[in-house]
Structure 1
Amino acid sequence: MKAIFKRTSLLLMGTLIGISTVQAQKSPQDMDRFIDALMKKMTVEEKIGQLNLPVTGDITTGQAKSSDVATKIEKGLVGGLFNLKGVDRILEVQKLAVEKSRLGIPLLFGMDVIHGYETIFPIPLGLSCTWDMAAIEKSARIAAIEASADGISWTFSPMVDISRDPRWGRVSEGSGEDPFLGGAIAQAMVYGYQGANQQDQLRRNDEIMACVKHFALYGAGEAGRDYNTVDMSRNRMFNEFMYPYEAAVEAGVGSVMASFNEIDGIPATGNKWLLSDLLRGQWGFEGFVVTDFTGIAEMIEHGVGDLQTVSALALNAGVDMDMVSEGFVGTLMKSIKEGKVRMGTLNTACRRILEAKYKLGLFDNPYKYCDVNRPKRDIFTKEHRDAARRIAAESFVLLKNDAGVLPLKKQGTVAVIGPLGNTRSNMPGTWSVAARLNDYPSLYEGLKEMMAGKVNITYAKGSNLIGDAAYEERATMFGRSLNRDNRTDQELLDEALKVAAGADVIVAALGESSEMSGESSSRTELGLPDVQHTLLEALLKTGKPVVLTLFTGRPLTLNWEQEHVPAILNVWFGGSEAAYAIGDVLFGDVNPSGKLTMTFPKNVGQIPLFYNHKNTGRPLAEGKWFEKFRSNYLDVDNEPLYPFGYGLSYTNFQYSDIALSTPTLGKDGSVTAVVTVTNTGKYDGAEVVQLYIRDLVGSITRPVRELKGFNKIFLRAGESKTVSFTITRDLLRFYDYDMNYVAEPGDFNIMIGGNSQAVKTAKLTLTNPGNTAQLTDDALMDTVQRRTFNYFWEGAEPNSGLAPERIHMDGIYPEKDQNVVTSGGSGFGIMTILSGIDRGYVTREEGLARMEKIVSFLEKADRFHGAYPHWWYGDTGKVKPFGQKDNGGDLVETAFLIQGLLAVHQYYINGSPEEQALAKRIDILWRDVDWNFYRQGDQNVLYWHWSPEYGWAMDFPVHGYNECLIMYLLAAASPTHGVPAAVYHDGWAQNGAIVDPHKVEGIELHLRYQGCEAGPLFWAHYSFLGLDPTNLKDEYCSSYFDEMRNLTLVNRAYCIRNPKHYKGFGPDCWGLTASYSVNGYAAHMPNERDDQGVISPTAALSSIVYTPEQSLAVMRHLYGMGDKLFGPYGFYDAFSETDNWYPKRYLAIDQGPIAVMIENYRTGLLWNLFMSHPDIQNGLQKLGFPINK
Structure 2
Amino acid sequence: MTSRTYPSADASPATKSPNTHLNLDVWPKASSPLAQDPETEARIEAILSRMSAEQKVGQILQADIASITPEEVHKYHIGSVLNGGNSSPGGKMRAAPSEWLALADAFWEASMQPDGPQIPVMWGTDAVHGHNNLTGATIFPHNINLGATRDANLVERIGSATALEVRATGMDWTFAPTLAVTRDDRWGRSYESYSESPDLVADLGAAMVRGLQGRPNTPTFLDADHVIATAKHFIGDGGTQDGRDQGETIATEEELRDVHAAGYYRAIGEGILSIMASFSSWKGQKMHGHKGFLTHLLKEHWEFDGLVVGDWNGHGQIPGTSTTNCPDALNAGLDMYMAPDSWKGLYTSLLSQLQEGTICQDRLDDAVRRVLRLKVRARLFTQPKPSERQHAGDYHLIGCQRHRDLAAEAARKSAVLLKNANRSLPLSPRQNILVAGKAADDLGILCGGWTLSWQGEGVRKADYPHAETLLQGIKRVAEADGGNVEYAPDGIYQSTPDVAIYVFGEKPYAEFRGDLTTLDFKPGNRTDLQAIRRLKEAGIPVITIFLSGRPLWVNPELNKSDAFIAAFLPGSQSGAIADLLFRQENATADLDFTGMLPFSWPEHADQYLLNQGDTDYQPLFPYGFRLSLQDTCTLGQLHENSLATEPDHGTIFDHGAPQGSWEILLTDPSGHATWKGRSLVSPAAEIHAQPADLGQQENAIRVGWARTNTATLTFLHPPLDMTREANADFYLKLVLANLPDDINGTQMSVISGSGRIRMGDLLCMYRQEETDLTLTITIPLKKFASAGADLTSVKGIEFWNPGSGQIVISHIGISTL
1:576, 1:370 → 2: CA distance? 30
- The alignment partner of 2:412 has SS state of helix
2:564, 2:50 → 1: CA distance? 64
**Number of the residue aligned with 2:379:** 361
Q: Is the 8 A contact 2:209 2:270 kept in 1?
A: yes
Q: Is the 8 A contact 2:101 2:392 kept in 1?
A: no
1:348 aligns with 2:343: no
**Number of the residue aligned with 1:444:** 471
Go from structure 1 to structure 2 and tell me whether the alpha carbon gap of 1:230 and 1:46 turns closer, same or farther (over 3 Å shift). same
**Number of the residue aligned with 1:455:** 483
Q: Is the 8 A contact 2:82 2:123 kept in 1?
A: yes
Q: Is the 8 A contact 1:168 1:226 kept in 2?
A: yes
1:75 aligns with 2:75: yes
1:574 aligns with 2:570: yes
| 1:354-407 C-alpha deviation (Å, 9 max, x unpaired) | 111111111111435754754324221111111111121001111111111111
Question: Which of 35, 38, 42 is the equivalent residue of 2:47?
Answer: 38
Go from structure 1 to structure 2 and tell me whether the alpha carbon gap of 1:366 and 1:344 turns closer, same or farther (over 3 Å shift). farther
Paired letter, 2:493: K
- The alignment partner of 1:347 has SS state of helix
| 1:850-869 C-alpha deviation (Å, 9 max, x unpaired) | xxxxxxxxxxxxxxxxxxxx
1:396, 1:199 → 2: CA distance? 35
Q: Is the 8 A contact 2:179 2:264 kept in 1?
A: yes
1:330 aligns with 2:348: yes
Q: Which has the higher strand share?
A: 2
Q: Is the 8 A contact 1:51 1:328 kept in 2?
A: no
1:397, 1:560 → 2: CA distance? 18
1:584, 1:646 → 2: CA distance? 18
Tell me how far 1:182 sits from its aligned partner: 0.8
- The two structures have a TM-score, normalised by structure 1, of 0.45
**Number of the residue aligned with 2:499:** 505
Which ranges in structure 1 are unaligned for 5 or more consecutive residues?
1-24, 58-65, 463-495, 616-637, 654-1189
Paired letter, 2:475: K
2:284, 2:622 → 1: CA distance? 34
Paired letter, 1:597: P
**Number of the residue aligned with 1:967:** none
Paired letter, 1:52: L
Tell me how far 1:128 sits from its aligned partner: 0.8
Paired letter, 2:478: M
Go from structure 1 to structure 2 and tell me whether the alpha carbon gap of 1:366 and 1:267 turns closer, same or farther (over 3 Å shift). farther
2:387, 2:472 → 1: CA distance? 36
Tell me how far 1:518 sits from its aligned partner: 4.6
Tell me how far 1:160 sits from its aligned partner: 0.9
1:115 aligns with 2:129: yes
Paired letter, 1:646: F
Paired letter, 1:96: A
Paired letter, 1:565: S
1:347, 1:119 → 2: CA distance? 40
Q: CA RMSD in A?
A: 2.2
| 1:515-551 C-alpha deviation (Å, 9 max, x unpaired) | 2x65521122433432122222222212111011111
2:625, 2:75 → 1: CA distance? 56
Go from structure 1 to structure 2 and tell me whether the alpha carbon gap of 1:328 and 1:285 turns closer, same or farther (over 3 Å shift). farther
- The alignment partner of 2:161 has SS state of helix
**Number of the residue aligned with 1:997:** none
Tell me how far 1:555 sits from its aligned partner: 0.5
- The alignment partner of 2:447 has SS state of coil
**Number of the residue aligned with 2:269:** 250
Tell me how far 1:26 sits from its aligned partner: 11
Tell me how far 1:226 sits from its aligned partner: 1.6
Paired letter, 1:285: F
Go from structure 1 to structure 2 and tell me whether the alpha carbon gap of 1:365 and 1:233 turns closer, same or farther (over 3 Å shift). same
**Number of the residue aligned with 1:87:** 101
| 1:646-673 C-alpha deviation (Å, 9 max, x unpaired) | 11111359xxxxxxxxxxxxxxxxxxxx
**Number of the residue aligned with 1:468:** none
**Number of the residue aligned with 1:686:** none
- The alignment partner of 2:411 has SS state of helix
**Number of the residue aligned with 2:178:** 159
Paired letter, 1:357: K
2:277, 2:229 → 1: CA distance? 14
- The alignment partner of 1:593 has SS state of coil
Query: Counterparts of 1:608-687 in structure 2 under 5 Å?
Result: 608-614=609-615, 639-651=618-630
Q: Which has the higher helix share?
A: 1
2:114, 2:552 → 1: CA distance? 53
2:217, 2:631 → 1: CA distance? 40
Tell me how far 1:246 sits from its aligned partner: 2.0
Q: Is the 8 A contact 1:450 1:580 kept in 2?
A: no
1:381 aligns with 2:397: no
Tell me how far 1:276 sits from its aligned partner: 0.7
Go from structure 1 to structure 2 and tell me whether the alpha carbon gap of 1:614 and 1:245 turns closer, same or farther (over 3 Å shift). farther
Go from structure 1 to structure 2 and tell me whether the alpha carbon gap of 1:384 and 1:288 turns closer, same or farther (over 3 Å shift). same
Go from structure 1 to structure 2 and tell me whether the alpha carbon gap of 1:307 and 1:352 turns closer, same or farther (over 3 Å shift). same
Q: Is the 8 A contact 1:173 1:518 kept in 2?
A: no
| 1:538-572 C-alpha deviation (Å, 9 max, x unpaired) | 22212111011111111011222333311001111
1:650, 1:239 → 2: CA distance? 36
- The alignment partner of 1:208 has SS state of coil
Q: How many residues align?
A: 559
- The alignment partner of 2:602 has SS state of coil
Tell me how far 1:113 sits from its aligned partner: 0.5
Query: Counterparts of 1:658-737 in structure 2 under 5 Å?
Result: none
Question: Which of 138, 141, 144 is the equivalent residue of 2:163?
Answer: 144
1:230, 1:26 → 2: CA distance? 33
Q: Is the 8 A contact 1:361 1:368 kept in 2?
A: no
Question: Which of 195, 200, 225 is the equivalent residue of 2:244?
Answer: 225
2:512, 2:219 → 1: CA distance? 34
- The alignment partner of 1:47 has SS state of helix
- The alignment partner of 1:99 has SS state of coil
Q: Is the 8 A contact 1:130 1:595 kept in 2?
A: yes
2:398, 2:574 → 1: CA distance? 18
Tell me how far 1:237 sits from its aligned partner: 1.6
Go from structure 1 to structure 2 and tell me whether the alpha carbon gap of 1:584 and 1:614 turns closer, same or farther (over 3 Å shift). closer
**Number of the residue aligned with 1:543:** 539
**Number of the residue aligned with 2:23:** none
**Number of the residue aligned with 1:18:** none
Tell me how far 1:96 sits from its aligned partner: 1.8
**Number of the residue aligned with 1:730:** none
- The alignment partner of 2:546 has SS state of strand
| 1:681-739 C-alpha deviation (Å, 9 max, x unpaired) | xxxxxxxxxxxxxxxxxxxxxxxxxxxxxxxxxxxxxxxxxxxxxxxxxxxxxxxxxxx
- The alignment partner of 1:110 has SS state of strand
Which ranges in structure 2 are unaligned for 5 or more consecutive residues?
1-33, 90-99, 132-136, 454-458, 585-589, 633-817
1:77, 1:124 → 2: CA distance? 36
- The two structures have a TM-score, normalised by structure 2, of 0.66
Query: Counterparts of 1:757-836 in structure 2 under 5 Å?
Result: none
- The alignment partner of 2:439 has SS state of coil
**Number of the residue aligned with 2:602:** 601
2:335, 2:559 → 1: CA distance? 53
- The alignment partner of 1:186 has SS state of helix
**Number of the residue aligned with 1:266:** 285
1:125 aligns with 2:120: no
% identity of equivalent residues? 28
Paired letter, 1:73: V
Go from structure 1 to structure 2 and tell me whether the alpha carbon gap of 1:26 and 1:319 turns closer, same or farther (over 3 Å shift). closer
Question: Which of 404, 409, 416 is the equivalent residue of 1:390?
Answer: 409
Q: Is the 8 A contact 1:164 1:609 kept in 2?
A: yes
Go from structure 1 to structure 2 and tell me whether the alpha carbon gap of 1:26 and 1:378 turns closer, same or farther (over 3 Å shift). farther
1:56, 1:520 → 2: CA distance? 23
Go from structure 1 to structure 2 and tell me whether the alpha carbon gap of 1:350 and 1:570 turns closer, same or farther (over 3 Å shift). same
| 1:587-625 C-alpha deviation (Å, 9 max, x unpaired) | 56421100011111112222211112247xxxxxxxxxx
Q: Is the 8 A contact 1:54 1:69 kept in 2?
A: no
Tell me how far 1:170 sits from its aligned partner: 0.4
Paired letter, 2:468: P
- The alignment partner of 1:569 has SS state of strand
